[in-house]
Each structure stands twice: as structure tokens, then as C-alpha cells.
A = this chain, B = another copy of it.
């Protein structure tokens, strides 16, 4: 992946981009430093508070964004109010659906979120100039497809307990990818209600399974939100994965 990075020195990299993960693991890694500079002129950093909407369900959005920090949830809703979270996105994921207005999905900030936002047109023009950018988008889309299909197995075939364990495992391995691969300690980015919507369960069942995992000593729960996992392998067993 690093082979695609056109820059060797940081000399002509925009200040805001220097520490940005999107330039390494994200889509911006596909750009030359001059392209990065031009895109940077049109980009703005934005802070979005937990709970507010990034992309409306079928409202047209005129910009794309990279997630800098925080967690974004992608939700589908039925007309009678039932809803399902169909994806979680972490830094440095690319946010926004290229080449189509909408697919009945809304994107909301699960936690406080910082994004780097660009006009749609700027990205689409740049795609034409840099095929490598489209390649990165394909890579991310394939990754999201894999994740969606993994989750389909969880939704369709796992028990409530396995679902909750799978969720905790997912968060433990995504919220801080560089951390210890054996144990983990983190703040849950979702409320019980969100977790239920992600797992196709009710909040009561989520709560019961969490206390079950706590009693089985698979996890330690501090403040309803803070979770510690002393042994990730053990958690994976409970998740059947």
C-alpha cells in the first residue's frame, strides 16, 4: 500500500494532511502532493456532535468526507420505525456514496466525529485524473462488502449471546487498530439502543447478554460504556468466530 504514496518528504504536504491517517491508509494516499494540495484548498474540517445526522436518508448530499476521528453509523429504516444499523465506519474511512445520490441509508455520528469534507465535484474530477483514487475507492468498497457479508452471517445465524460477543469483538478490533491484539479496553461508541439496532435484538436482550458475559468473566464493565476484555481469544470463542 505504501508503494502508492507519491511523497517521500513532508515538505510540500499541506499541514492539515500531515498527521492525517487518510493520507496513509485512506483514499488520499492515492494522490500526488500537488493533487493533495489542490484538494486541500477545497476541503474543510468539521466537527459533528454525537447523534446528529451527516447524510440524510434520501436528501442529496453535495459533499464527501473522510472520517478523522469518531464513529459513524449507517442506518436503514422501515416505514413502521423498525431500523437496522448496516455498517459502522471508523477513521480513516471515506464517507459518501460515489456516483449515486442515495440508497435509503442515513449516516449519523455515533460519537463526536471530526471529518475532512470536500465538494462532490472536486472528488469526481480528481477521479478522472487519478485512476489510483478510484482503485482506492474500490478497495474500500470491497472491504465494506466483506464486512457487510460477515455481519449477515451474524444477523442470520448467531444466537443473541454470540451476536453481542461478535459486536464487542468488532469494536475491540476496530476502535484502536494498533492496540494490543490479546486484550482490549475501550469506550463503547454505541448506546444499548444502537447496539440492539446493529444486532437485530432488543435493548433488554443486549443488556441481559452483556451481564451474562460479565458473569462469565469474559468482559469487565465499568461505567455502562467502558468495557475491558482481558482475553480477546476467549471473546472470539463466545462469538463463534
* Assembly CA distance A157 to B150 (angstroms): 17
Q: Which residues of B contact A234 (CB under 8 A)?
A: none
* Assembly CA distance A87 to B152 (angstroms): 10
Given contacts A97-B142, A134-B131, A137-B138, contact A240 B78 (CB under 8 A): yes
The verdict on A177 contacting chain B, using a C-beta distance below 8 Å, is no
What does the 1/0 interface line of A126-144 toward B look like (CB < 8 Å)?
0000010011011101101
The verdict on A19 contacting chain B, using a C-beta distance below 8 Å, is no
A146 touches B79 (CB 8 A): no
B150 touches A148 (CB 8 A): no
* Assembly CA distance A155 to B142 (angstroms): 21
Q: How many A residues touch the partner, as a band?
A: 35 or more
Taking the full assembly, how many copies of this chain does it contain? 2
B131 touches A240 (CB 8 A): no
The verdict on A42 contacting chain B, using a C-beta distance below 8 Å, is no
Q: What distance in Å separates the Cβ of A173 from its nearest Cβ neighbour in chain B?
A: 16
* Assembly CA distance A80 to B80 (angstroms): 36
What does the 1/0 interface line of A75-89 toward B look like (CB < 8 Å)?
010111011101100
Which of B86, B141, B150, B199 has a CB less than 8 Å from the CB of A138? Answer: B141
* Assembly CA distance A138 to B141 (angstroms): 8
* Assembly CA distance A126 to B38 (angstroms): 30
The verdict on A45 contacting chain B, using a C-beta distance below 8 Å, is no
Q: Which 3 A-B pairs have the closest CB atoms?
A: A156-B200, A86-B149, A148-B148
